[in-house]
Structure 1
Amino acid sequence: MTKLKLFIFDVGGVLYDGTSVANAISVYLGLSREEFLTLARFAGLRKLQTGKINSMQFWSNFSKISGRRVDEDLWVRFFRPVLRHEVANLIKKLKAKYRVVAGTNTIESHYQVHLVQGHYSVFDQVYASHQIGFVKPDVEFFLYILEKEKMEPEETLFVDDTPENVAGAQRIGIHSVLFVNVQDLAERLSSLIEE
């Protein structure tokens, strides 16, 4: 295997817990999760994640489509990220020898919460979908990061908790690890990196 030089970590579900707000929002709105996500797609969720619309525009669209008036940013109201300290410690150890960046599907309002609370400080760089205009698992998301980092796929390792995202990175030859728990991640990383 080619020597790894770049590590790309997902944020929500890997470094932070409590970042998925779909369940809480759907309960608040009196919808099933599936109903909410379907309406969210029609209201422009992908456009929100790629920075083409903002949260205010999204909720305005959502209100029209769903017939439920939403006057506040529910993405923020229910957003309660909790740090996984063990993952943060793994990242800090990696940073002593490697370049470690975040590759995250997010929206501006969640990004701002993370930024204000210093959640991205563990990374050398953050590649957020709403800023770069691409979302995982699209290969363009990964190609964008590789180009900016001037790295080859075989020099890169990607960690994510979503199988589709892992498969997206693997499609272009990026070594990828599906995050299941901290112990498994630590074991997988130690078997891949040179001590």
Structure 2
Amino acid sequence: MVKALIFDFGDVFINLDKKGAMDNALNLFKLNQFTPPMIHTNELYEQGKITSEDFMLFYLKSFPYLTREQILDAWNYILKDFPRHRLHFIDDLAKKQDYELILLSNTNELHINWIKENVPFYGTFKNSFHQFYLSHEIGLRKPNEDIFQFVLDKNNLNPKECLFIDDTTENTITAENMGFHVWNIDETSQDITDLFSIKQELF
């Protein structure tokens, strides 16, 4: 029986434009793909191992023809709307108190700052969860096993009693291999509000 629901954030609650953001960035940087140093820097930033200023300085030095504003806009391009019906869904779940509600997101300070400024109900959303884990605050990131073990240990959970919901296949594969129930949500055709009908066999 499922006792804990563990949710990703992007493309589960807030909509993302991953392809658009990548195309926009590659065009801005005049590249065909991200370089290994860029990928490494992004991952360090996502784990809070470098500051927002260090992150920005890396890109300013790597692309001196760009302004800070251009880089920031490109970085936040991925973030889109947060439909209110998803807020109502998690808020209703919180009020029922039937499950431990946990958010587990790969994110970073600049993205969270943008969300705080542009999503007026962010505080209500955050308060709906018992635990709200952001990768840059806990120093861990998906799909590494240690972030899932962190959640289990911190909350005294059995993976067989947890359902992990994420739109990224590599994340759900790791969780499933560790014994979690998973839902690899397809954001193009499914919505988190359909949870109890799509995964009804677990409830």
Task: Please tell me the TM-score bracket, short chain as reference.
Answer: 0.7 to 0.9
Number of equivalent positions: 188
Determine the C-alpha separation between the residues in 2 that align with 1:135 and 1:79: 18
Displacement after TM superposition at 1:103 (Å): 0.4
> Which moved further from structure 2: 8-17 or 76-85?
76-85
**Compared CA separation, residues 77 and 173, structure 1 to 2 (3 A):** closer
TM-score, normalised with respect to structure 1? 0.82
SS of residue matched to 1:165: helix
Which of 34, 59, 62 is matched with 1:62 structurally?
59
User: Any conservation in 2 of the 1:106–1:128 contact (CA below 8 Å)?
Assistant: yes
Where does residue 31 of structure 1 map in the other structure?
A: 30
**Compared CA separation, residues 59 and 22, structure 1 to 2 (3 A):** farther
Gaps of 5+ in 1: none
- Which residue type is aligned with residue 135 of structure 1? R
Where does residue 102 of structure 1 map in the other structure?
A: 103
Deviation per CA, 1:161-189, whole angstroms, max 9, x where unpaired?
01111111112111110111127534223
- Which residue type is aligned with residue 126 of structure 1? F
Q: Say whether residues 1:47 and 2:57 are aligned partners.
A: no
Gaps of 5+ in 2: none
SS of residue matched to 1:40: helix
Equivalent positions of 1:164-183 (< 5 A) are 164-180=170-186, 181-182=190-191
Where does residue 155 of structure 1 map in the other structure?
A: 161
**Compared CA separation, residues 94 and 37, structure 1 to 2 (3 A):** farther
**Compared CA separation, residues 126 and 24, structure 1 to 2 (3 A):** farther
Displacement after TM superposition at 1:9 (Å): 0.5
Deviation per CA, 1:44-89, whole angstroms, max 9, x where unpaired?
1111000011222112122333454442434665354311344334
Determine the C-alpha separation between the residues in 1 that align with 2:78 and 2:127: 19
